């Protein structure tokens, strides 16, 4: 299969981890017989230096001519935040892409990889049940896009943010939820506040209507307050969660804490045509930029999501995820995901502290063992 990917590394560690994700994509292309054309574009401070804009038209043209966008991260050091190069850098880059391509849903997986339980804030008994969920957040409705008003009535200040949903917006999110569940354990939890909010009642009704097209998926409704509690008490019960913009904003960040590091989380924003932007949720980490120690896993997992959701390459996506899991199981750790980072001072002889490139080498080594037909690891003969 031939596909074109717009590659926007951005700033700071964005450049370093993107280099590694590209190496992984090249191995996947070789192994599975694909041709990925990678078109690099500038974004963030790097683009500002060259074009005087954080997301120049040249970059948008590259994105429009591609089948998907792989994004790194943008932004400068806090000490330079008032320089024109960095002012509104993240907003100008990412929001412009969101608006231009009308990304309608955001997907955030949260998984605790085996061997990584020590760095999760949750108890071992809770994690032993297996945490592997996907949170889908609607992106174009809710209070973020309603009328915002601030004023004074009878000497009392007030502020209001109107929250509205129409059925088309809900349908797009619901279909994304059911389709994603089909690729996983076939369970969808729709989260709302239907006991109080009118928009939530419409949400629940429309999701139920859409469910008739997916008889193979088990749907349950859950109130958002209960969902927040369940994410901490028993996250293993969830497969796919679909929810509105604000609830998703909050729940996906809560869920991202469970794996123990942002360096292990990927994210995807997709429009109703299946065109998507794939990026790690973390920033440009200027404190460690240029040192070769950044964790490349979030960027590599973002590339896996790109293959799954924009190119329908499920086997290839799983091969990357399995390789990441195997490298972690073998003990490879960048500085942000060691047990000592999580406050554990007991010695763990299985941990091998490595830098950005060596972590990717370990992942690629595992990927090379994958059978290109099944996506599973080939049995390795031992002496």
Applying CB under 6 A, does 260 fall inside the site for ligand NAD?
no
DSSP-derived secondary structure for 221-266:
EEEHHHHHHHHHH-GGG-SEEEE-HHHHHHHHHHHHTTTS-GGG--
Using CA atoms, how far residue 375 sits from 117, 316, 379, in Å, is: 25, 6, 12
Q: Which CB atom, from 71 or from 165, has the smaller least distance to ligand NAD? A: 71
Q: Which of 200, 284, 310, 318 binds ligand NAD (CB under 6 A)?
A: 284
Q: Residue 153 belongs to what H/E stretch?
A: strand 148-153
| Residue list 309-348, contact with ligand NAD (CB under 6 A) | 336
Applying CB under 6 A, does 375 fall inside the site for ligand NAD?
no
Q: Which CB atom, from 107 or from 294, has the smaller least distance to ligand NAD? A: 294
| Residue list 47-106, contact with ligand NAD (CB under 6 A) | 73-76, 90, 94
Applying CB under 6 A, does 16 fall inside the site for ligand NAD?
no
Min separation Cβ 12 and ligand NAD, Å: 7
Q: Helices 297-309 and 356-368: crossing angle, nearest 10°?
A: 40
The Cα–Cα gap between 223 and 195 comes to 8
Applying CB under 6 A, does 276 fall inside the site for ligand NAD?
no
Q: Which of 27, 28, 277, 294 binds ligand NAD (CB under 6 A)?
A: 294
**Do 146 and 162 form a contact (C-beta atoms < 8 A)?**
yes
Applying CB under 6 A, does 263 fall inside the site for ligand NAD?
yes
Tokens of 377: 């690891």
Q: Which residues are catalytic?
A: 144, 193, 225, 249, 253
Q: Which of 298, 313, 317, 327 binds ligand NAD (CB under 6 A)?
A: 298
Applying CB under 6 A, does 264 fall inside the site for ligand NAD?
no
Q: 333 has which bridge partners? A: 353
The dihedral of CA 167, 211, 223, 134: what is its sign? negative
Q: Which of 244, 271, 295, 302 binds ligand NAD (CB under 6 A)?
A: 295
The Cα–Cα gap between 208 and 11 comes to 43
Scanning 121-129, 172-180, 216-224, 283-291 for contacts with ligand NAD by CB under 6 A, the matching segment is 283-291
**Sites of contact with ligand NAD (CB under 6 A):** 13, 17, 73-76, 90, 94, 262-263, 279, 282-288, 294-295, 298, 336
């Amino acid at each position: 299969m031939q596909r074109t990917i717009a590659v926007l590394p951005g700033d700071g560690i964005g450049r370093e981890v993107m280099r590694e994700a590209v190496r992984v994509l090249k191995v996947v292309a070789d192994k599975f017989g694909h041709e990925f054309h990678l078109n690099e574009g500038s974004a963030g401070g790097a683009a500002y230096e060259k074009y005087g804009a954080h997301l120049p038209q040249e970059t948008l043209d590259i994105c429009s001519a591609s089948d998907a966008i792989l994004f790194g991260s943008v932004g400068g050091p806090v000490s330079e935040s008032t320089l024109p190069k960095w002012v509104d850098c993240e907003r100008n880059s990412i929001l412009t892409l969101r608006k231009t391509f009308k990304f309608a849903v955001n997907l955030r997986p949260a998984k605790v990889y085996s061997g990584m339980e020590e760095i999760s804030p949750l108890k071992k008994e809770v994690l032993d049940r297996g945490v592997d969920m996907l949170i889908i957040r609607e992106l174009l409705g809710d209070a973020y896009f309603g009328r915002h008003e601030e004023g004074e009535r009878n000497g009392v200040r007030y502020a209001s943010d109107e929250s509205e949903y129409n059925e088309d917006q809900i349908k797009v999110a619901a279909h994304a939820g059911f389709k994603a569940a089909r690729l996983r354990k076939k369970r969808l939890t729709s989260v709302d506040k239907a006991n109080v909010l009118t928009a939530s009642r419409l949400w629940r009704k429309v999701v139920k209507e859409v469910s008739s097209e997916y008889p193979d998926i088990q749907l349950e409704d859950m109130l958002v307050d209960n969902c927040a509690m369940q994410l901490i008490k028993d996250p293993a019960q969830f497969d796919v969660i679909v929810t509105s913009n604000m609830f998703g904003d909050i729940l996906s960040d809560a869920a991202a804490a469970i794996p123990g590091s942002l360096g292990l989380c990927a994210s995807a924003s997709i429009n109703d045509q299946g065109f998507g932007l794939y990026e790690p949720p973390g920033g440009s980490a200027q404190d460690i930029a240029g040192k070769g120690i950044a964790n490349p896993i979030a960027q590599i997992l973002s590339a896996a999501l790109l293959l799954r959701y924009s190119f329908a390459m499920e086997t290839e996506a799983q091969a990357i995820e399995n390789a990441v899991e195997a490298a972690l199981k073998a003990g490879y750790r960048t500085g942000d995901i060691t047990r000592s980072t999580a406050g554990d001072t007991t010695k763990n002889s299985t941990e091998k502290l490595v830098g950005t490139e060596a972590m990717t080498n370990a992942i690629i080594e595992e990927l090379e063992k994958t059978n290109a037909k099944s996506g599973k690891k080939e049995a390795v003969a031992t002496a």
